[in-house]
Amino acid sequence: MAAIGGCFFFLIALAFVAVLWAIWRYNNLIALKNQVVNAWKQIDVQLKRRHDLIPNLIASVKGEMQFEQDTLEKVIAARNSAVAARGVADAAEKENALTQTLSRLFALAENYPNLKANESVKALMEELSSTENKIGFARQFYNDIATRFNTAQQIFPDSMIAKTFNFQPVELFEIRDAAEREVPQVDLSLRPKA
Amino acid sequence: MGADAFLYGSGVGPGFPIATLGALCLGGFSAWWALQDGDRAVLDSTHAVPLDPRDPQQKLLDNVVEEMAIAAGLPKPKVYVIPDSDPNAFATGKGPEKSSIAVTAGLLRTLNREELQAVVSHEMSHVRNYDIRVMTVVAALVGSVLLLSDWGRRGLWWGGGRRRDDSEGGGGGGGLFALLFFVVWVISLVFAPLIAQLVAMAVSREREYLADASGAELTRNPLALASALEKISAATAPTESIKQGVAHLCIEDPRGRAVNQREGGLAELFSTHPPISKRIAILREMAYQKLQTS
């Protein structure tokens, strides 16, 4: 009798530990999932900031760069279509187009010494190029955390929990266009080159 | 009641390490205390001032810190500027939720944007890896070893004779064993503080390599940190306003000692930072491997 009782007690304890483990791993996956969602939202925050900054920049460089009307209009158009974009794939494409036109504008601005000397334009340029960096780093962090989430779902034994509760791996942010893989070599720093 | 009774306790039986526990408690308390209020004290001691966003250079620093906080997925630390012309930087604070990064005015002047980003990423990694906590605890433990060995030496002076009487009666072999034990005890008393310091320095150097590597992971640009280190090491003057206590959290040893530049041997054992040339070589290697894989 005592042996059966002991066995029974052992099984109960084992089941209890297993349930505790499952809860622990499940909560870990949920925490990662929410971090992924948050990381994605961080990208949006920076994109929104870029949209807000562009009209200011255009307004302040318009006077000096009147011979670049074409580029300025392209930036505005790209910005407006990015603001109006619907859906993730659409937004990604239009934001990429905006990045391209902006880097062209930055490159052109290098040719205008008056602009480079103007304090408020300089400050705006720094804000915008920092926002570009923040978008890049926000995407990088999203990819880092999404990779961690995906790995956590696939490693054994956590994969059992992930399957049971139907966790889905998330997509990573990728550069589709091969030309975009080239890092643009535009030096936006405001200080003299070393 | 001699020093022996004080050291080993008369009531709790022989060999109960009261002094060790006491020293550890004191060490733990000093670590806790340092963590609670340490960042304020450190920042005050360096005369660091909160940055002024109206100054374009400091605004740029503010942006760079925010960029790195985003890359690390951490809340943005408070940013301070130290009025010192030698390029250096350090991080402090309780943990990732409440941290501060301070850089010298000299650093802002010397480095370009990419290099500044690399230095900030190194400091951000100290924050992310809980190095401030690690080094505070290590410092407190070293402190308690010093304390313990000090107590031990006093105990040896006053209570040594009586202790020998106590352990008599174990036969000839026991006497020899006691003598051997006694010798080992004396040697460890003398060398414990030294070894503790060496271990602390070794931990500090390892954390520096780690911060370099995880900083490069944040920026994906190890070469920028390499060239920043080159510029920083070119300025060999000591950073006057950073005191020795925070040396292990700086990007480079603020004492500007020649010890940190030399490789190998004794010199390396006693420095908080690995030789800069070695750090640069490792970063270059990282960049090379990145080139190979892409």
ipTM of the complex: 0.76
CA distance readout (Å), B217 to A124, A144, B91, B168, B246: 29, 10, 18, 62, 24
Which residue blocks in B235-275 are alpha helix, DSSP H? 265-269
For residue B9, name the pLDDT band (cuts at 50, 70, 90).
Answer: very low
Q: Please name each of the domains of chain A with its CATH number.
A: 2-181 (1.20.1440.20)
Task: Write out the H or E segment, with its range, that includes residue B79.
Answer: strand B78-82
**pLDDT one-digit tens code per residue, B238-283:** 777 776 666 777 788 776 655 445 555 666 777 778 888 888 889 9
Distance CA B67, CA A135 (A): 9
Contact indicator for B92, B42 with CB cutoff of 8 Å: yes
Active site residues of B: 123
Contact indicator for B244, B255 with CB cutoff of 8 Å: yes
For residue B236, name the pLDDT band (cuts at 50, 70, 90).
Answer: low
Distance CA A21, CA A13 (A): 12
Residues of B with Cβ-Cβ distance to A138 under 8 angstroms: 70
Instruction: Kindly report the nearest CA distance between residue B112 and chain A, in angstroms.
Output: 7
What chain B residue is nearest to A139 in terms of C-alpha separation?
B71
Contact indicator for B159, B2 with CB cutoff of 8 Å: yes
Q: Do B70 and A193 touch (CB under 8 A)?
A: no
Residue keyed to tokens 């910005």: A79
Distance CA B114, CA B137 (A): 33
Instruction: Kindly report the nearest CA distance between residue B113 and chain A, in angstroms.
Output: 6
Say how many CB pairs under 8 Å bridge A and B: 51
Q: Which residue has the higher pLDDT, B121 or B84?
A: B121
Q: Which residue has the higher pLDDT, A121 or A45?
A: A45
Mean pLDDT, rounded, of chain A = 82
pLDDT at B1 over 50: no
Q: Do A126 and B59 touch (CB under 8 A)?
A: yes
What integer pLDDT is reported at residue B95 of this predicted model? Answer: 80
What integer pLDDT is reported at residue B167 of this predicted model? Answer: 46
Instruction: Kindly report the nearest CA distance between residue B59 and chain A, in angstroms.
Output: 9
